[in-house]
Amino acid sequence: MFNRYANFHFTGQKQGETILLLLHRHWFDILKQMLIVFLMIIVFFCSLIFLPRYISLITETSNYSQLFFFGESSFAMFIWIVFFVIWIDYYLDVWIITDTRVVNIEQKGLFSRQISELELENIQDVTTDVEGMLSTFFNYGDVYIQTAAEMERFIFHNIPDPYHTKDVLMALQKRQKREEAGDIGEAIRKKMSPLN
């Protein structure tokens, strides 16, 4: 069977652990966030073009023109930083589903990262939440994993095809429970078998 993630490895991956799904947030989610950046770029260019035409102090060779261009340069740098933070947050937020566990890597700002993991046997319930017309049309939403562990809920935010992800998680959980039941049954049979 072909595994499209065979060449992908992550820190903390166990020997023989196979990656089944590697999820980022849906592209429409970053597009919504980038609208703010696009609006700021429009404001930047409009102020650069139109303000000097209507305010004579800016066009004169004075301290005001230097102050105006300093403000414009600072605003351009701010736009770049906002774009960079949005992209980093999108690109480094990753949910990894393997054949034994779920790993949640969440980037919080530029210098903070939170990594948590959940063993498949701790999954109690998986729920999908697709709200709104755009989410339904573009097929993205949230997946909630109810657990029996310390962290009661794992949340996959705005991932593509949440129903498929839910089906994969439920199939893995059922397989894990069957394997555990088989291991327990085997241990009981070994205990009850007469000694030779």
Q: List pLDDT tens digits, range 97-130.
A: 988 888 888 888 778 888 888 888 888 888 899 9
Residue with tokens 């947030």: 25
Among residues 159, 165, 169, which one has the least CA distance to residue 138? 159
For residues 64-100, one letter each, b for 16 or more C-beta atoms within 10 angstroms of the residue's C-beta and e for the rest, the string is: eeeebeeebeebeeebeeebeeeeebbeebbbbbbee
Q: How far apart are CA 140 and CA 151, in angstroms?
A: 24
Give the pLDDT confidence of 150-161 residue by residue, as tens digits.
666 788 889 999
Give the pLDDT confidence of 142-152 residue by residue, as tens digits.
999 888 766 66
Residue with more model confidence, 40 or 8: 40
54 DSSP 8-state letter = H
pLDDT of residue 80: 93
Q: What is the mean pLDDT of the chain?
A: 82
